[in-house]
Chain A
Amino acid sequence: MPLLEVKGLEKSFGGLKAITDLSFSVPEGQIFSIIGPNGAGKTTLFNLLTNIYKPTKGSIFFNKKDITKLPPFKIAALGISRTFQNLQVFMNMNVVENVMVGCHLRSKSGLFASAFRLPSVIAEEKRVRDMALEALEFCGLKDYSSQPASALPYGILKKLEIARALASKPRLLLMDEPAAGLNDTETMELCRLIEAIRDSGITVLLVEHNMGLVMEISQTVLVLNYGRLLAKGSPRDIQKNPEVIAAYLGEG
């Protein structure tokens, strides 16, 4: 049974069709990669899956539940989290606070309880901080925990987004070009990190241009071209597919 199922998805921006009649399903436990040239509609697809954009047509099922019309925060509550191609780190907070926001769904103090700092809040604060530190440690960021986010280099911020997403204990993690802008060492580390995430039981939907990385760690690769599904299969099949080579792989 697939964890995520997309049926007949379509998105137009005015006259431009960014996604056309897209259907696919993602089995649980995989690293499932989506590749395609710039402008193919990969980020748009992520924005549709999280309902940051409303689909023009089609439906999305997560864990058999129709999530097409749910607001993003409810989709997150069902167990989908993501990182962003253009960083969306909370620059007004330090590292551990960023990740503590990721624990929002795993804690519950409201404004009133927080304002009066009821005993339950004090206990929860400690618990949330520990959960955040655990996520930071998993991503190798523990030493940065008290640094302000605004003072950190790009590579660290990209990892911070991953730690923040993991802190919500998602079942499905969407990663939009996590290797972009990273050097070779950082990319290697990222590779191991993504595998560790998958091994911890989280299904990973990965958008990435680094073909070495994609082919090494994915179980399934889906190729998008002008918003349409061009091919889908194992990394080996995709690398041999003549249409894919002509449209995408061949050029690089």
Chain B
Amino acid sequence: MKRLLGFYIFSFITLVLPILFPDNYYVTVVGLTVLINISLAVSLNLLMGYAGQISLGHAAFFGLGAYSSAIFTIKYGFNPWTAIFFGLLIVFLLSYILSRPILKLKGHYLAMATLGLGIIVHIFFVQADEITGGPDGISGLPTLSIFGFPIDTDLKWYFIFAIFMLITVLLSLNIADSRAGRALSAVHGSEIAAQMMGIDTAKVKSHIFVFSALIACIAGSLFAHQQNFVSPESFSFFFSIELVTMVVLGGLGSTFGAVVGAFILSILPELLIVFEDFEVLIFGAILMTIMIFLPDGLFVAIKNKIAFLAFKRSQKEVANATS
């Protein structure tokens, strides 16, 4: 119960918001972007924050999920759920085959390889116009139904995205507190020591790469159905970088850090619209300031501060009790 207290509070807030403010632009429009970005950032954090393996190509798996749903439903007439399954199969095979050779690389080389993956997939979306519709993309996905219940309003989509996001967060929290999660942190901390403790580091890295890709893939399928439209822009290299920024901004290695990072980075542009031309400038300045003064990330820095204060207070109580 205590382990997941934060999660329960977070779930409550997420699910109550749309009930209280069903017509609020920030909840049902911006909210959808926030929710999908949180799922993506949390999944990327599994690889980047837990295992310490950077990926600059996460948007590729998000895009493959979205395009699979669009292509298999519209071009080939499959049921949306079958299309989602095909997407998962494709992403599973691709990420599994690529994971071992790519994750043998370290540091800058790994960054370059994942960057390359992202760019190649993006070029495929743009160039293979017979399949992908080229730069214009594909529109007109069928409505997704769950047990015959059609998801056809923004409010309904909010709940679907929210539940998916909460599941992602829960899985991520579970992994952190487990043998698998510790193996990932060990790889992050010292790969040699991890191997000496009997961890098959290549396997562990490969598994989390696939797992994180599959979450991004489902997010992509849901996103495509909600938007009713896919185009290459949404899955570009820039979006991959944005996801990395979210993870780092909130605090590498912390699930709620990724949540906070994704939240800020999705909300901030909306709030900064009032500055018109200076929007991007101020956006950049805020990011720089946070990273300079809180290099551990916003969420992690605040959490550590609170833990430190609690520690000092308990020390004081001990001192009072003994005097």
Q: A114-B179, A115-B171 are in contact. Are A89 and B196 (CB under 8 A)?
A: no
Residue of A72, A105, A110 near B180 (CB, 8 A) is A110
Nearest CB of chain B from residue A12's CB, rounded to whole Å: 21
Q: Which of A54-62, A75-83, A193-201, A206-214 contacts B (4 or more CB under 8 A)?
A: A75-83
Nearest CB of chain A from residue B187's CB, rounded to whole Å: 9
Number of A-B contacts (CB under 8 A): 110
Contact assessment for B178 and A104 in the assembled complex, using a CB-CB cutoff below 8 Å? no
Q: A72-B195, A76-B197, A111-B207 are in contact. Are A97 and B182 (CB under 8 A)?
A: yes
Say if the beta carbon of A185 comes within 8 Å of chain B: no
Q: Tell me how many residues of B have a C-beta within 8 Å of chain A.
A: 30
Contact assessment for A92 and B195 in the assembled complex, using a CB-CB cutoff below 8 Å? no
Residue of B174, B188, B190, B200 near A116 (CB, 8 A) is B174
Contact assessment for A105 and B198 in the assembled complex, using a CB-CB cutoff below 8 Å? yes
Residue of B178, B190, B208 near A90 (CB, 8 A) is B190
Say if the beta carbon of B253 comes within 8 Å of chain A: yes
Chain A, Cβ-Cβ closest to B178: A114
Contact assessment for B171 and A116 in the assembled complex, using a CB-CB cutoff below 8 Å? yes
Cβ–Cβ < 8 Å partners of B179 in chain A: 100, 104, 107-109, 114, 121, 124-125, 128
Question: Please, how many angstroms separate the alpha-carbon atoms of A101 and B183 in the complex?
Answer: 7
Question: Please, how many angstroms separate the alpha-carbon atoms of A72 and B189 in the complex?
Answer: 17
Say if the beta carbon of B193 comes within 8 Å of chain A: yes
Say if the beta carbon of B74 comes within 8 Å of chain A: no
Q: Tell me how many residues of A have a C-beta within 8 Å of chain B.
A: 39
Say if the beta carbon of B163 comes within 8 Å of chain A: no
Cβ–Cβ < 8 Å partners of B253 in chain A: 92
* Chain B residues engaging chain A, CB cutoff 8 angstroms: 171, 174-175, 177-183, 185-186, 188-190, 192-201, 204, 207-208, 211, 253
Could you jot down 30 A-B contacts, CB within 8 Å?
A50-B196, A72-B192, A72-B195, A73-B196, A84-B192, A89-B189, A90-B185, A90-B189, A90-B193, A91-B189, A92-B185, A100-B179, A101-B185, A101-B186, A102-B197, A104-B198, A107-B179, A108-B179, A109-B178, A109-B180, A110-B207, A111-B208, A114-B175, A114-B178, A115-B174, A117-B174, A121-B179, A128-B179, A164-B193, A168-B197
* Chain A residues engaging chain B, CB cutoff 8 angstroms: 50, 52, 71-73, 76-77, 81-82, 84, 88-93, 97, 100-102, 104-105, 107-111, 113-117, 121, 124-125, 128, 164-165, 168
